[in-house]
Amino acid sequence: MEPRQVKTAADARKIVEERGLTHVKVGVHDVDGILRGKYLHIDKFNAAIDGGMGFCDVVLGWDSNDQLYDNVTYTGWHTAYPDATVRILPETCREIATEPGNLLFLCEFVDGAEALCPRGVLRRVLDRAARMGFEVKVGFEYEFFVFAETAFSIREKGYKNLKPISPGFFGYSVLRNSVLSDWYKDLLAMCETMDMGIEGLHTETGAGVLEAALRVRDGLTAADSAALFKLYTKVLAQKRDWLATFMAKWSKDWPGCGGHMHMSLWRDGASAFFDANGPHRMSKAMRHFIGGQQVLMPELLGMVASNVNSYRRLIPGFWAPTVASWGVENRTTSLRVIPGSAKSTRVEYRIAAADANPYLALAAAVGSGLWGIEHEIDPGEPIKGNSYEKKHPAKSQLPRTLMEAAGRVKASKAARDLFGDAFVDHYAATREWEEREFRKAITDWELDRYMEII
């Protein structure tokens, strides 16, 4: 049996037995989109595949640096960090390309923790789409830098003078991908093996930066693939003593890393976005979808730009949008309509960066679009020309800091309708914590500017 054939608990037991495995790998994604997991003996796996298993709920109670939130109610010292139940998802079975023969299964939190589980949040948004008669198709697109450095050397260097795997600005370079063809070959093969296939892979404009467009999938599968692509790209790089980063903006001298999402709605096998007679071949549903995305973007940005560093990227002139806006084939706007055939008409959600949790970013993008359809929100006229040079209404301005964005999420009635009170309160608190942690730090910029002279 092949991993892609696994659909049920019985299938999962069968493939594990066929391979003669003693252990498999299981994991659940936390609020930051980091996969937290373990190796699990097959006896435990076979028992858990039906009824679930315990997983310490600290996974929902700490940040990306394993520091404990002091401002959340679901878990903490006040609850003594008990186990929460997770369910193993047989249909997520993948062979681990970097561990030939071994298998990986994703999990979801259930019961009370399900309201906070990022994958669960997205699943509920997609269920909402299904109740409206829509299927969601998504293609994630990631930019990431790769350095000829290790996890140790970057720290020893203080994150300065890092050596990229290739120098200079050289987008779409055949020279670079030919010289580094072994790396490209390994990355492409790994993604095929792990069911997160790449449609296109090329150098972007920057030293050592690549862009990978993942193949279009159904919503939940696309998010699984995106989350695992980020993780295993890092794994593959580190196994050859390199380091890949999906940080939104690692240097002021280079463009930031986008994590764009191309999405469309379908109904009964046909595009719900395409109308041959509509302006720009856009259906009324597509216009309303974009209208909702545009209106709610300032409120939900904290789910898409989820880290302090995310806001370093959102500056004019570096291919990242700065206001909630839309245009047709316009890469200076937040939402880029790509009119094409019935199969290819879609919207590119360009505000998202590579550092976002793909489950939550997609939940925000799709959820706001569905809200637009439900409320028949018209997006107005598309932006023509350079959006950075236009005057935009105050309501389209985006939060400038993570703390501001967290406050907008918390105050959003639409967010509470789409994602639930428990998630909104917990998530906003985690982002407030993240900014508080940042404010404890003294940056090199401050030391250089103030220590001697002020």
CA distance 16 to 2: 11
Mean residue pLDDT across the chain: 95
Q: Inform me whether the pLDDT recorded for 217 exceeds 70.
A: yes
Neighbours of 343 (CB within 10 A): 13
Neighbours of 264 (CB within 10 A): 24
Q: Would you state the pLDDT for residue 393?
A: 85
Residue 351 in contact with residue 321, Cβ under 8 Å? yes
Q: Give the domain ranges of the chain.
A: 3-115, 126-296+308-398
- Average pLDDT score over residue span 175-197: 97
Q: Inform me whether the pLDDT recorded for 229 exceeds 70.
A: yes
Q: Inform me whether the pLDDT recorded for 438 exceeds 90.
A: yes
Residue 143 in contact with residue 258, Cβ under 8 Å? yes
DSSP character for 62?
B
Convert the pLDDT of each residue in 20-67 to its tens digit: 999 999 999 999 999 999 999 999 999 999 989 999 999 999 999 999
Q: Would you state the pLDDT for residue 317?
A: 61
Q: Inform me whether the pLDDT recorded for 429 exceeds 80.
A: yes
- Average pLDDT score over residue span 350-363: 97
Convert the pLDDT of each residue in 317-342 to its tens digit: 666 788 999 999 999 899 999 998 98
126-296+308-398 under CATH 3.40.50.620, yes or no: no
| pTM passes above 0.85 | yes
**Helix, strand, coil share of the chain (percent; to 5):** 40, 20, 40
Convert the pLDDT of each residue in 118-176 to its tens digit: 999 999 999 999 999 999 999 999 999 999 999 999 999 999 999 999 999 999 999 99
Phi then psi for residue 298, to 5 deg, are -65, -30
CA distance 29 to 433: 19
- Average pLDDT score over residue span 96-109: 97
Q: Would you state the pLDDT for residue 319?
A: 63
The CATH code for residues 3-115 is: 3.10.20.70
Q: Would you state the pLDDT for residue 184?
A: 98
Tokens, residue 342: 């019935």
What crossing angle do the helices spanning 284-304 and 421-439 adopt, rounded to 10°?
A: 50
CA distance 401 to 311: 6
Tell the residue number behind the tokens 């880029």, with chain if given.
336
